[in-house]
Amino acid sequence: MSDALDNLFANNQKWAAKMEAREPGFFTKLLSQQEPQYLWIGCSDSRVPANDLVGLLPGELFVHRNVANLVVHSDLNALSVVQYAVDVLRVTHIIVVGHSQCGGVRSALNGRRAGLVDNWLRHVQDVRDAHLGLLQRIDDPARRLDALVELNVLEQARNLCHTTIVKDAWERGQTVVVHGWVYGLHTGLLEDLRITANALDEVMPAYQQGLARVARRYLGEP
């Protein structure tokens, strides 16, 4: 085995010992229960460690990650995670989290070819095209990218709200609150994009509020 992999196993042993010393019986408890309140749908980017960002331990945050934090209605992987989180784990909050300077979003924004992933990022290009008028008014390329990151979060949060899984949960009176956040790589801080919905009739008002916030931030519109 390579030295790099040996280092990972050594780190794992240290981490496990530290967790057990801090809370004796920690791993035994994990065997018998998984009761997270939150589902995190985030980007695969290695710089965005979900549990660490919000200070939660294993067992406290259910996580799904993919390139550019997409919620696609034909993606059975993501939908299976959402269904299990909602119907089995009974999470109360689902959070779609994008991050600044996202490489996947950058590729979609610029039409840059990257290979097979281009087909996946076509969904982000659809977001780009839907908001092209706003994006073209932002002169700074870095700010234009971050605007699309935020717009993408809004769109994916809205997609999530319109899945049969979330709509069925709302119809039966189950509490499921959908949120859209963005993580700043340059600050280490999370920001609420103000798209929060707890019922189907809240989705469009929350989405419009989120769009207005993006326009204010990047265009200075009232």
Burial (CB count within 10 angstroms: exposed 0-12, middle 13-18, buried 19+), residue 190:
middle
CB 100 within 8 A of CB 184: yes
User: CA dihedral in degrees (85, 87, 89, 93; nearest 10)?
Assistant: 60
Catalytic (active site) residue 161 = no
64: which strand partners? 41
CB 114 within 8 A of CB 107: yes
Residue in 6, 22, 93, 102 annotated catalytic: 102
Residue in 22, 47, 172, 186 annotated catalytic: 47
Q: In what order do the strands lie in the sheet with 190-197?
A: 61-66, 38-43, 93-99, 177-183, 190-197
Catalytic (active site) residue 47 = yes
Residue in 3, 6, 22, 45 annotated catalytic: 45
Catalytic (active site) residue 179 = no
Catalytic (active site) residue 99 = yes
Residue in 6, 22, 43, 168 annotated catalytic: 43
CB 70 within 8 A of CB 124: yes
User: What tokens appear for 145 in the block?
Assistant: 């990218």
Catalytically annotated residues: 43, 45, 47, 99, 102
